[in-house]
Amino acid sequence: MSRYLRPAARLAATARASAIRPAAPSPFLARGSAVPSIQKRSYADASGVKEYTVRDALNEALAEELESNPKVFVMGEEVAQYNGAYKVTKGLLDRFGEKRIVDTPITEMGFTGLAVGAALSGLHPVCEFMTFNFAMQAIDQIVNSAAKTLYMSGGIQPCNITFRGPNGFASGVAAQHSQDYSAWYGSVPGLKVVSPWSAEDAKGLLKAAIRDPNPVVVLENELLYGQSFPMSEAAQKDDFVVPIGKAKIERAGKDLTIVTLSRCVGQSLVAAENLKKKYGVEVEVLNLRSVKPIDVEAIVKSVKKTHRLMVVESGFPAFGVGSEILALTMEYAFDYLDAPAQRVTGADVPTPYAAKLEEMSFPNEPLIEQYAAKLLRL
């Protein structure tokens, strides 16, 4: 602590620092990387690639950031004792203690406000929502406080906070539990929004979100939590981050660009493979990774190469991520398009409870394939 700081600022800084330091330094915490891994992982293959579930990747990201930065803490409903409603925070309470992993009463508005307040005072909270459907109770704190305080305070009040939780439809939970908020949060200046698909995405983006000095909304997907993905050796290291605002080409192609995000990336890859088998066309699949800021450059670059664009997402069609990308393409790459761009989105209905109707309300592999084939006039 510099002695040139004003006494009040010094006082505040010490108070803050002591509040987040464990009362007595635990020998377990001090061991750092020697802490036994809490996750079950498969053996590494020759190239050092391991299989990770998205859940494990998120868990590892949280653990690493909690480890490396004492300002980071996790709070939300059932995150500690119960290991998280979807077990993303499994083992964190045992490892980091109840000062860093905080269970809250069922008050979304309350604990989100508390987390925003903690961020405004210099901590780096990770605020978990059991699902983003429940975050609607707290959306005023996210939109009006977290996103805007830096701007409205004249730049003196940063809000380094991460909001995370499962987003989008799950399975058999009806309309009030099945919504995609990418477009909602993506429309708010001041927020950054990411939406991981693979285990690498999940780990890298969550770590980037926690490190980013701005409020970041991490829209995960319940149906992906248990899915396994290969994780490269580099991604297994604790310094791995995925830059926010950069899309990733998951599959290179020359005939059609599919821009997509979250669970739809996997579906689009399957569709792309089928299109190659059936028609021999090469579809480029662009994993958006970030909703805001959106990687316009990558989209335009890809469209310049393929001259055709399709967007696949699971949100409602009206005023959605797909609409935005089509509009951006019209603004920046209209002359490179050889055919009208297309959207494949969720249906414009309150999500049905009936399993079959629910299935039909969201894009699936055959539908993507069919629309791509139409667009390519195959």
Positions marked active-site:
108, 177
Alpha helices (H) along the chain:
7-20, 27-30, 54-68, 92-96, 108-120, 139-140, 149-152, 182-186, 199-211, 233-236, 263-279, 296-306, 321-333, 355-360, 365-375
Pull the structure tokens for residue 87.
């077990």
8-state DSSP, 32: G
Shortest gap between Cβ of 137 and another protein (angstroms)? 7
Is there binding between residue 318 and another protein (CB under 8 A)? no
Q: Which of 26, 81, 157, 370 binds another protein (CB under 8 A)?
A: 81
Neighbouring-strand partners of residue 164: 128, 218
Residues within window 139-198 making contact with another protein, judged by CB under 8 A: 172-177
Give the number of residues in contact with another protein, rule: CB under 8 A.
30
Give the binding range for another protein (CB under 8 A) out of 117-125, 134-142, 261-269, 284-292: 134-142
* Contact partners, residue 21, CB within 8 Å, separation at least 6: 70
Q: Compute the distance between CA of residue 90 and CA of residue 76 in angstroms, rounded to an integer.
A: 13
Nearer residue to another protein within complex by CB, 88 or 275: 88
Tell me the residue type at 273: E
Q: Which of 352, 365, 367, 373 binds another protein (CB under 8 A)?
A: 352
Shortest gap between Cβ of 173 and another protein (angstroms)? 6
Alpha helices (H) along 22-148:
27-30, 54-68, 92-96, 108-120, 139-140
CA dihedral 227, 232, 234, 235 (to 10 degrees): -10
Nearer residue to another protein within complex by CB, 133 or 167: 133
**How buried is residue 25: exposed, middle or buried, by Cβ count under 10 Å (0-12/13-18/19+)?**
exposed
Nearer residue to another protein within complex by CB, 104 or 329: 104
Shortest gap between Cβ of 212 and another protein (angstroms)? 28
Nearer residue to another protein within complex by CB, 174 or 378: 174
Shortest gap between Cβ of 353 and another protein (angstroms)? 5
Nearer residue to another protein within complex by CB, 104 or 345: 104
Nearer residue to another protein within complex by CB, 20 or 347: 347
Please state the separation of Cα 161 from the chain's center in Å.
13
Give the binding range for another protein (CB under 8 A) out of 46-54, 75-83, 285-293, 309-317: 75-83
Is there binding between residue 136 and another protein (CB under 8 A)? yes
Q: Which of 133, 182, 262, 345 binds another protein (CB under 8 A)?
A: 133
Is there binding between residue 353 and another protein (CB under 8 A)? yes
Q: Compute the distance between CA of residue 357 and CA of residue 368 in angstroms, rounded to an integer.
A: 17
- Other CB atoms within 10 A of residue 137 CB: 15
Nearer residue to another protein within complex by CB, 42 or 171: 171
Residues within window 90-129 making contact with another protein, judged by CB under 8 A: 103-110
Q: Which of 56, 64, 77, 200 binds another protein (CB under 8 A)?
A: 77
Give the strand order in the sheet containing 309-312.
248-251, 283-287, 256-260, 309-312, 342-344
Is there binding between residue 319 and another protein (CB under 8 A)? no
Is there binding between residue 323 and another protein (CB under 8 A)? no
| Cβ atoms of residues 141 and 126 within 8 Å | no
Binding residues for another protein (CB under 8 A): 77-78, 81-82, 85, 103-110, 133-134, 136-137, 172-177, 349-350, 352-355, 357
